[in-house]
Amino acid sequence: MTPLPASEIRSAGEPIDADDLRTLAAIRAIYQASDPAPSDLADRAKFAMTVAALEAEIAEITSSEHDLAGVRSTVYERAATITFSSGHLSAMITIEVMDGGTARISGWVTSPPVWVELRERSRTQTTTADEDGRFSFASAERGLVHLVFRRTDAPEERPVITPAIEI
């Protein structure tokens, strides 16, 4: 790395002035126009936070595949397979969009037995994973959903929730 000239080192210690603010404003304008946060990101975060108040453990999305490969997309559109994992379990779900605007969700979770909750905007559906860890929801509303996993044999254990996903 080339050392900075003395004039730049001196300049670095000076207070930000009007020219700097103009420079920063231009950088801001360029990035805001070129790469804005998705318009629904704040809303999705707020939706997710209402569930996070459960003191649940948060699973992270470890991979997702869309059938619209190569298409730039900021939501989980159409059929998609998403994998989640947390310290306690991993889960994989496949979302298939059905005619009539609903979606079918089928999934598999490690360490059964677990209850699986599907939290939609306006309702919550619950099912139990079978002994192989398989579960499904035949009809989910399109929109934001979360999954919540709770062990049936250890109800006192913290539940595991996934981030909100758009289906």
Partner 1 sequence: MQAGANAGSLAEQAAAAFQEYRSGRGDGMAELVDSTTSLLWHTARAQGLTQQQAEDAVQTTWLLLVQHASDITEPRGVLKWLLTTVRREAWSTVRRARREDARDDLTDVAPELPGEDLDPEDMVVRGADQRVLWRHFATLPARCQRLLRVVALAERPDYAQVAESLGMPVGSIGPTRGRCLAKLRAALTADPAWEVTP
Contact window for partner 1 (CB under 8 A) among 24-32, 89-97, 98-106, 127-135: 24-32
| 28-31 contact pairs (CB < 8 A, 24+) | none
Closer CB to partner 1, 46 or 134, in the complex: 46
Please tell me the distance from the alpha carbon of residue 139 to that of residue 163, in angstroms, as a whole number. Answer: 20
Closer CB to partner 1, 55 or 153, in the complex: 55
Taking CB under 8 A as the rule, does residue 65 contact partner 1?
no
Annotate each residue in 138-167 with x if it binds partner 1 (CB under 8 A) or - if it does not, as one string. Answer: -----------------------x-xx---
Torsion, Cα 151 155 156 162, to 10 degrees, reads 40
Alpha carbon 110 to its chain centroid, in Å, reads 20
Contact window for partner 1 (CB under 8 A) among 23-31, 92-100, 118-126, 132-140: 23-31
DSSP letters, 56-113, are: PEEPEEEEEEESSTTS--SS--SSEEEEEE-SS-EEEEEEEEPTTSEEEEEEEESS--
We find the least distance from the C-beta atom of residue 2 to partner 1, in angstroms, to be 10
What are residue 161's phi and psi, to 5 degrees? -120, 155
Q: Which residues bind partner 1 (CB under 8 A)?
A: 1, 4-5, 7-9, 11-16, 18-38, 41-42, 44-46, 48-49, 52-53, 55, 58, 60-62, 64, 72-74, 161, 163-164
